Amino acid sequence: MTSEGSAAGRAPPGFTGGRLDRADRLRNDPDALAAALSDRGARVLVLGPGYEPQVTEKGRLAWTSLAAPDPGEDPTTDPAADLVLLGLEGDHPRFARITNEPGGSPFRSPRLLGALGEMPPGEAATYAQARAVLDWHARHRFCANCGAPSAVVRAGWVRRCTSCAAEHFPRTDPVVIMIAEHGGRALLGRQASWPPGRFSALAGFVEPGESVEEAVAREIHEEAGVRVEDVRYVASQPWPFPSQLMIACVATAVDDALTLDKTEIEEAIWVDRAAVRAVLAGGEGPFLAPPPYAIAHTLLNRWVEEA
């Protein structure tokens, strides 16, 4: 199995390929951050309810100018208190505004799904970055150590407790997403909540004290009753619903007998490369493929390429 960057011309996994310079050097530099806030070219990402992106006719993210402070505003208010510095586009800063809108829902509306399908790769990466960190702010307004309110510091990339001074950083939860292969076939499963006919790779959270390889083997066995070996890494992808790092792998199944955990998946099938190749190409087949921006789509493409 080759890694994601080893073959020329491959489409990168969805939500990757970001073009912003994340500018970590500015985050803890008050003077540099002040200069970024006063930059005439500074822009703020336009997001609607549910952190849904507003997009242009060309499918690109919409931005608005960073408004000057209201003359009547308290001059002691930190102008960066509700902003996250996403990075620099060229020489100009790009921000997202913290709204503390209740987050944490993995629900994706048809409008959002349509926008993601049309977005250029770099745009989707910026959106993923913004959505994940804004959702984290909304869900972590209080200190996990003592329960007091926390304040935004370091250009939106840290929250500091106002009582005990504990610092909290945006979290990313590792998730393994994988196919088991046996006799030239890939194991795919589906959840009851998915569209009819949709099958995808199996997936699950990496647990504390567990390696990626161990998580892959455990999840496949728990969900499908299949023992695997020879786990190989393929690619990774940020998944901002709300904030996971999807780690795609392929494993070799010892046998193909299935024993499903129906609380996790309602059905599983073994599919050969010819069928997967046809489905990915838009043809008829035994299942509906995951969307192109999902790393399961990338994973199936890479598996097909092995033949």
pLDDT 10s digits, 74-126: 555 566 789 999 999 999 999 999 998 876 556 678 888 888 888 887 899 99
d(CA 143, CA 163): 9
Assign a CATH topology to domain 24-168: Nucleoside Triphosphate Pyrophosphohydrolase (3.90.79)
Does 198 score more than 80 pLDDT?
yes
How far is residue 51's CA from residue 103's CA, in Å, rounded to a whole number? 9
Residue 209 has pLDDT above 50, yes or no: yes
Q: What is the pLDDT confidence band of residue 67, given thresholds at 50, 70 and 90?
A: low
Q: What is the pLDDT of residue 66?
A: 86
Question: Residue 104 has what pLDDT?
Answer: 53
Mean pLDDT of the chain: 91
* pLDDT tens profile 156-175: 999 999 999 999 999 999 99
Q: Based on the number of CB atoms within 10 Å of its own CB, is 9 exposed (0-12), middle (13-18) or buried (19 or more)?
A: exposed
* CA Rg value for the chain: 22
Which pLDDT score is estimated for 11? Answer: 80
Task: Kindly state the average pLDDT of the residues 234-250.
Answer: 96
Average of per-residue pLDDT across 61-65 = 95
Domain boundaries, the chain: 24-168, 173-305
pLDDT at 71 over 80: no
Could you tell me the CA-to-CA distances from 106 to 50, 135, 242 in Å, in that order? Answer: 10, 11, 6
Q: Do domains 24-168 and 173-305 have the same CATH topology?
A: yes
Q: What is the mean pLDDT of residues 240-250?
A: 96
The residue among 141, 128, 62, 68 whose CA lies nearest residue 98 is 141
User: What is the fold, at CATH topology level, of the domain defined by 173-305?
Assistant: Nucleoside Triphosphate Pyrophosphohydrolase (3.90.79)
pLDDT in tens, 3-52: 444 454 578 899 999 999 999 999 999 999 999 999 999 999 999 988 99
Residues near 102 by beta carbon (within 8 Å), at least 6 away in sequence: 138
Residue 126 to residue 115: CA distance in whole angstroms: 13
